[in-house]
Amino acid sequence: MRVLIVEDEDAIAEPLAAGLVREGFEVERAATGQEALDAEAPDVVLLDLRLPDMDGFEVCRRIRARSDVPIIVVSARGEEVDRVVGLELGADDYVVKPFGLRELIARIRAVTRRSSRDAARPPAEEHVHRVGRLEVDTRSRRAFLGETEVQLTAKEFDLLALLVSEPGSVVSRQRILEQVWNTSWYGASKTLDVHVASIRRKLGEPGWIETVRGVGLRLVPKE
């Protein structure tokens, strides 16, 4: 598996690259955003946000505009707003520095398994789900609220599609992680919570998705 590390600090990039090589990964490094955009297509991108020539969010946006390659943002910027922006621009996960190598490798394997499974999955026969004014088409991967299309990232769509397939039922956090992120690992990341907050904002009504404390999430129809 080829990993592209987009990181300008040698003190971070070099030991990270060495650790990944020891674990059997092929590693390429880009020290600037432009180098990342010019690099040969990898299997996964580890993207820092503080780059010398352009903001990492812009690099994420440009990569996602042309490719479905899994992107993991690896940054010291751990505020919720940074996580939300990164995920809305198409990142598949967000890891805050400092982090452990085992944690990062678990994230890499999770996002790449998910990407491979999506590519191999045949179209579902029942691909349109309607709940109140909300319509989700899993074949075209589009969601509408009334006549207005809801612009969702790939993971946001997968999460909403899972919830809308069982309206009114509680879907456990473990099941969501297994089916949307293809992992049961929780870790310290608030990735799931960030995605839920973003979907609620885009639907314009937080009540669409209820949190059942200690259990999971439930889609509640709104007229």
CA distance 25 to 17: 9
Cβ contact 104:94 at 8 Å:
no
CA distance 144 to 142: 7
pLDDT (0 to 100) of residue 124:
44
pLDDT digits (tens, 9 = 90+) for 136-155: 998 888 999 988 999 998 88
**pLDDT under 50: residue ranges of the chain:** 122-125, 187-189
3-state secondary structure of 142: strand
Domain boundary among 88, 120, 152: 120
pLDDT (0 to 100) of residue 194:
87
List residues bridging with 46 in a β-sheet.
Answer: 5, 72
Please give the tally of structural domains in the chain.
Answer: 2
Q: Which two tokens stand for residue 69?
A: 């390659």
Q: Are residues 211 and 111 in the same domain?
A: no
Residues 6+ apart with CB under 8 A from 211: 196, 217
Q: Are residues 107 and 62 in the same domain?
A: yes
Q: Are residues 88 and 160 in the same domain?
A: no
For 36, the domain range is 2-120
Q: For residue 175, give the H/E element and its range.
A: helix 173-180
DSSP code of residue 66: H
Tokens 């400092």 belong to which residue?
98
Q: Are residues 86 and 20 in the same domain?
A: yes
| Residue 175: closest CA among 209, 135, 217 | 217
pLDDT (0 to 100) of residue 123:
47
